[in-house]
Structure 1
Amino acid sequence: MAVLSGLLTGALLLLTAPMAHAEGDGLVRQEVTFRGGRGLVLHGTVLSNNGPPGAKPGIVLVGGSGSGPREEYRQEAEAFARAGITTLVYDKRTIGYSLLHRDFGLLADDAVAGVRLLQSRSGVNPRQVGLWGFSEGGWVAPLAAARSTDVAFVVTIGGSGYDPLRTQTWNLATHLRHQGVGAPFRRTVAGPAAQFVASTGRFPAAGYDPLPALERLHRTPVLALWGDHDTQVPPQESAQVFREALARAGNRHAVIGFVAGGAHNGHRTSDGFDRIGGPPFHGKKLGELAPGYAQTMTSWVRAVAAGHPPASSAAAAPGQALATTPVPGHTWYAWLAPALLLLGFAAYPVSALLRRGPVLRPVRWLAGLGLLAVVATVACSIAVFVAGDGVAAPVVWGRPALWLVAQGLAVAVLVSACLSAVALRRRPLTWNRAAWLRLAPVGLAAVGFLPWAVWWGLAA
């Protein structure tokens, strides 16, 4: 009975185990599951070729921001596998990761778990399994390598040298410029709007600093690449940050390079804003791999696996039309100022409900227009961070149409303030407690509105 039971158990395991299958392209694919950070079960595919036997290097692909289904990185996975590099590509976690929450440490744990999965497979050299990180993965992969000695090497494409908020601010400014939006509104997005977003604490991982992880990679070979038409992270500045951080770490095998004709993802583009060829993904073209992109990565990985990691070098960086703008942290004044203005303007209609103090029509207009102007100003610029640069359309005179509305409201506030001052001079009032409580808040709000409007770029 014991023998029969063992045979039945073995048969069941064989029936339920993931089966490897080869397709017409000569690659072998096997569906796998593994436990990532905090024990979450992740699903992926291991790809390999039917080449000669022997221990091969392995690589785990770490995707960019968003839901990150593995299909998005099929072209890269197949390119590595065809080159004899066993590849794991997996679906990003949906638990512990959302639009408003990012935990790069947790994502790094997932990546290290993927490395250990490949290390346990026959035909893979457990000492030569590394990470490939795209975009957000350019923060995650170095962090995983800094945490675990199991990571033998790191390849990044489109990794940012700055924190996520500064990176996103540059990304938005670059895309707004492409849409024809002028410098004044772009300065608003990169300045007060970004500081307001930071002050809310709702931008995910806004202040994550990639430098500590990079500076711990003193022995791990690194290949850091950027498309020369990258429009989502600043390629020139990021390359400099990577190069200097890895040099401080004493890393003698850090190669900094650029993909000719490559977009943010290293795929073909004409200007960074389009994608040429390639399979569709979520209704949009991914673009095919730029010429030489896959060859650059695979040849470098094979050299590292052969024990000959290339010496540190840095290619000449392409031009970068816009410079990044640092976003100060803990900018409490960014939300406090509009909050006080709203309170000041709202005090007048609230006191009207309580029937306290004098009623003046110009002041009534001032309070109403002031409320609208503050809300419109903040909402218009913050909407770019929430919904992307598409909300800037249509563009009129180098400004989003909604921003022109906010500027018009600002002018109306100033006109109303002047008319209110004239009305107060012409109408004698008894300045009792009720009058002060009704008129002082809106008056102070009107005075404070002018410098605030100038800071937010409404005057430009």
Structure 2
Amino acid sequence: PKQIGLVGHSEGGMIAPMAAVESKDIAFIVMMAGLGVKGDQLILSQNELLSKAGGLSEEARAQSRLLYTRIFAILKEEKDNTVAGKKIQAALAEALGKMTEEQKQGFAPIKAVVDAQTGMYVTPWFRYFVLYDPRPILMKVKCPVLAINGERDLQVEPDENLAGIRDALKAGGNEDYTIIKLSGLNHLLQTSKTGAVSEYRAIEETMSVTALETISDWILNHTVALKGAAPRAK
């Protein structure tokens, strides 16, 4: 039991701390691109970064932020899924009604996403994610933690999320945590030029050797039976 650890990526990096709090058998956790900010904040940041990478104008991105802020408010206030879905579509129509034809053209990619995903927005999972705050859970994690993010992660922005994880662990009294931002890596911890989602399939590398070695070295150093063993060759 002293050597059981959890390694989770993205949402898995959100779940690993939950499991560590629930079970004393968890000896360590590794959070790869895990959450350090609230769910709604993460989605707003993600939309901003991905939209900017996709070439959307600042005006369209600002309109998107306003719309998604309204969508999150609807999800927090309205428990009935059918009613919530209608209110989301009404919020979209209202936003479009205030735009010029030129603005509507620039906003078209956002409209397409909202139209396609309104049904997903009212699912239990998305509702939970929007409301989720990782801080209270992270403050209860007492086992060693490694949190890593890629520098070019556009889905889980590295600086704010790693800072959130660090602050929560520190506030909770955890004395053994390591926070690392890996240069040049995307959300999937691949070596990437821009971090854009469109690059994922084009990159032959499944996962950066640097990321793999960072994780494995840290785990070996925190595994009881292997403490004191000779360091691995670089």
Query: Would the TM-score normalized by the shorter structure come out above 0.5?
Result: yes
Deviations 1:119-140 (A, max 9, x none): xxxxxxx321110110111211
* Structure 2 partner of 1:299: 217
8 Å CA contact 1:153, 1:222 repeated in 2: yes
8 Å CA contact 1:269, 1:275 repeated in 2: no
Deviations 1:84-113 (A, max 9, x none): xxxxxxxxxxxxxxxxxxxxxxxxxxxxxx
8 Å CA contact 1:267, 1:275 repeated in 2: no
Q: What is the letter of the counterpart of residue 291 of structure 1?
A: V
Distance 1:275 1:304, change over 3 A: farther
Describe the SS at the equivalent of 1:187: helix
TM-score by length of 1: 0.36
Greater C-alpha Rg: 1
* Structure 2 partner of 1:138: 13
Distance 1:200 1:242, change over 3 A: closer
More helix by share: 2
2:31 to 147, 150, 156: 156
Q: What is the letter of the counterpart of residue 4 of structure 2?
A: V
* Structure 1 partner of 2:166: 243
Describe the SS at the equivalent of 2:4: strand
Percentage of matched positions with identical amino acids: 28
8 Å CA contact 2:9, 2:31 repeated in 1: yes
Question: CA shift at 1:204, angstroms?
Answer: 2.7
TM-score by length of 2: 0.69
* Structure 1 partner of 2:138: 214
8 Å CA contact 1:268, 1:276 repeated in 2: no
Q: Spell out the pairing of 1:308-457 with structure 2 (5 A cutoff).
A: none
Deviations 1:194-248 (A, max 9, x none): 3224313524311111011100013x00000000111001210111111111111
Q: Spell out the pairing of 1:16-415 with structure 2 (5 A cutoff).
A: 126-201=1-76, 202=122, 203-205=126-128, 206-218=130-142, 220-273=143-196, 287-306=205-224
Deviations 1:346-389 (A, max 9, x none): xxxxxxxxxxxxxxxxxxxxxxxxxxxxxxxxxxxxxxxxxxxx
Question: CA shift at 1:276, angstroms?
Answer: 6.9
Using CA pairs under 8 Å that are at least 6 residues apart, name the structure with larger relative contact order, 1 or 2: 2
Distance 1:276 1:169, change over 3 A: closer
Question: CA shift at 1:290, angstroms?
Answer: 1.6
8 Å CA contact 1:164, 1:207 repeated in 2: yes
8 Å CA contact 1:160, 1:238 repeated in 2: yes
Which stretches of structure 1, 4 residues or more, deviate above 6 A after TM superposition?
none
Q: What is the letter of the counterpart of residue 221 of structure 1?
A: P
> Which stretches in structure 1 are left out of the alignment for 5+ residues?
1-125, 310-460
> Which stretches in structure 2 are left out of the alignment for 5+ residues?
77-121, 229-234
Distance 2:67 2:197 in 1: 30
8 Å CA contact 2:75, 2:127 repeated in 1: no
Distance 1:215 1:286 in 2: 38
Distance 1:275 1:187 in 2: 23
